[in-house]
Amino acid sequence: MFRFLKTLLSAILLPLLVASCVTSEDFADTHTGNFEALWQTIDEHYCFFDYKNKEYGLNWNEVYQRYKPQISDDMSMDALFQVLSNMTYELRDGHVNLSCASNTSYYTQWYEAYPMNFSDSIFHKYMGTSGDYRSTAGLQYRVMRGNTGYIRCSSFEYAIGDGNLHQIMDYLGSCDGLIIDVRSNSGGLLTSATKLAGLFVNEDTTLGYISHKTGKGHNDFSQPQPIVVSPSTGLRWQKPVVVLANRRTYSAANAFVMFMKGLQQLGNNKVTIMGDTTGGGSGMPFSSELPEGWSVRFSACPMTDVKGQQTEFGIEPNIFASITSEDYQKSVDTILKTAIDYLQK
Amino acid sequence: MKQALLSLLCLFPVLAFGQYRDIDRMWLFGVGGNALYDSYLSPLDYQGSSLGITLINERKARWGQGHVTSFTLLDVNGSFADNPSGNASFYDFTADFSFGWHYNWIFGKNWKLRAGALAEFLGGGTYSTRNGNNPAQGRGSFDLAASAIADYQFRVRKHHWHARAELDIPTVGAMFSPQYGQSYYEAFELCHYDHNVCATWPVNAPSARFIATLSVPVRKANIIVGYKADIRQSNVNSLERHAWNNSFVIGFTRHLNF
């Protein structure tokens, strides 16, 4: 019996278990190992290779060849961080970050190369003091000149509920037009962006598509599936609405603009996008890490608009408007002023 | 409530089959190490410690002419593990309920061998303190496992000592898994199904549970010391995972009459 058990264990079970071990990638915690781990993580998970190859000729294999000679195991940690950060900048994606204890790298050209088109101090001149406006779920709102309702959404980090939206609509319901200001909103919860868009639909409406990677290949993607926006359960807006955007409108805020433009594309002529092209950022980011313990974030799940078009590099407004330097000096928010005038026509 | 649930699980064969017989019940409390790897969360191996409780019930079945025993196992395990550089952590929780039957062979006075099949339900999850849109991985699986138990009784100074070894190997089953790059937002908020229930077998989910114990009589009780290895692995939807849990166990057995 002992012999039988011993034979069974040694001849069948143990080799089977050893041979079938599921093990992690064996990246060394060296500068070279960290470089290889970063390059491979992006290579296997990043979702815009094909699109960006067509847009500006991104070739991730060529990037490897160009950056590999810059890595040596005796370089300083700061130098390694800089080289790896530079490599991620090749993706031209604000959702790709490398973080260590002392620094986080951001690709910022998606907004730094463009006019700001928003000023906090001018904004507060329009909003007034805290007694002049209301605030709930990260949304500040008031009635402005010409009986125009105004909602400032500076971030989607807060969860927005139907009850919040109902109360806002109850307050602004008598206005003739509505402005949703998502300038310099760098994103947050996609669910909040979807919830806010629910103010403007009266039935479940497909306003975008999302897909995900199904394997490590650059073109291994699932079929795009609809992002359905459900109507808010309380009061909803049925009159003209203008959405204000700038180059710093990014990620979930870009998705909100995409939803609103989708409404327009489906024939809703009460929606207008005004300001500047959004910053983009249409890939939902995932996180990973390097052997050194540095954190990596990258776009993983691409979203497209209702016509299947990419919005990674931004969404153009229907009406371009910008704050001129003279207007900055006069403390005039040209974009907001243009929107109010537009709604009063 | 907790006690009622445990009692219900222990009495499962009684409730299901109306059998009232002696029960050998074994409580095991484990402490050990866990090596966690989940490529959905991180490409790195996380190492840490684990705590667990295992409850095993065995009884003679009414059918099978005394050669068949029914078996239930409830295992709950929690782990805390760090990445190699120690700046991120995984919190892992697993609950496992198995039941089935064994056919018994008795060899001489000391040896008893049992072989049978178990139905195994496993649930749990791993939470990463680091990640944003992929912060956690949920688990849920069902499988049919081949199971073998070897019992050896021997005497030490007029007392009966009892050595026991159990090996359970899942054969076929099904498990939940997100698709390779699918977010939980897409799977649950938008309800997009994409091959999220995967068939498993030893090639894509080679797993095993091994428990070796020695039961020593101490006064009127039987104290158990032993070792438990719970090896859970999967490679589905191009997502790799392992949880290699090794524990030192200590516990006691009770012989109950229902």
Share of chain A above pLDDT 90, in %: 89
For residue A137, is it within any domain? yes
Domain total for chain A?
1
* Average pLDDT of the residues in B124-148: 95
Class of domain B2-257: mainly beta
* Average pLDDT of the residues in A39-54: 97
Write out pLDDT tens, residues A86-132. 999 999 999 999 999 999 999 999 899 899 999 999 999 999 988 89
Res A6 pLDDT > 70: no
Nearest CA of chain B to the CA of A185: how many Å? 18
Residue spans per domain, chain B: 2-257
Q: What is the CATH number of the domain that holds A125?
A: 3.90.226.10
Nearest-CA residue of chain B relative to A25? B43
How much is the pLDDT for A130?
A: 82
Domain encompassing residue A235? 120-281+301-344
Segments in B49-173 forming alpha helices (H): none
How many cross-chain Cβ pairs, A to B, lie less than 8 Å apart? 130
For residue A70, is it within any domain? no
How much is the pLDDT for B12?
A: 45
Residue bearing tokens 């445990």: B6
Q: Are strands A319-320 and A271-275 parallel, antiparallel or unpaired?
A: parallel
- Please list, in sequence order, all residues whose beta carbon lies within 8 angstroms of the beta carbon of residue A269, skipping any fewer than 6 positions away: none
- Whether ipTM tops 0.85, in short, is yes
- Sign of the alpha-carbon torsion through B196, B197, B203, B205: positive
What does A110-172 look like in DSSP terms, one character per residue? HHHTS-----HHHHHHHH-STTTSEEETTEEEEEEGGGEEEEEE--B-S---HHHHHHHHHHH
For residue A55, is it within any domain? no
Q: For chain A, which residues lie within 8 Å of any Cβ of chain B, measuring from their own Cβ?
A: 1, 5, 13, 16-17, 20-25, 27, 29, 37, 41, 45, 47, 101, 190-191, 210, 212-216, 220, 222, 225-228, 284-289, 291-293, 295, 297, 300-301
Fill in the amino acid letter for B128. Answer: S
Segments in A26-127 forming alpha helices (H): 31-45, 49-56, 60-67, 77-89, 109-112, 120-127
The enclosing H or E element of A14 equals helix A14-19
- Please list, in sequence order, all residues whose beta carbon lies within 8 angstroms of the beta carbon of residue A255, skipping any fewer than 6 positions away: A190, A193, A194, A208, A282, A303
How much is the pLDDT for A18?
A: 58
Which residues in chain A have Cβ-Cβ distances shorter than 8 Å to B37?
A: 22-24
Nearest CA of chain B to the CA of A155: how many Å? 17
Largest Cα separation within chain A, whole Å, is 96
For residue A168, is it within any domain? yes
Nearest CA of chain A to the CA of B227: how many Å? 17
Question: CA A330, CA A321: separation in Å to the nearest integer?
Answer: 17
For residue A317, is it within any domain? yes
- Other C-beta atoms closer than 10 Å to the C-beta of B172 total 13
For residue A54, is it within any domain? no
Segments in chain B forming alpha helices (H): 2-10, 12-17, 184
Across the interface, of B43, B83, B181, the residue whose CB is closest to A212 is B181
Which residues in chain A have Cβ-Cβ distances shorter than 8 Å to B135?
A: 287
Nearest-CA residue of chain B relative to A211? B182
Q: Is B82 on the interface with A (CB under 8 A)?
A: no
DSSP B61: -
Share of chain B above pLDDT 70, in %: 90
Q: Is B188 on the interface with A (CB under 8 A)?
A: no
Res B14 pLDDT > 90: no
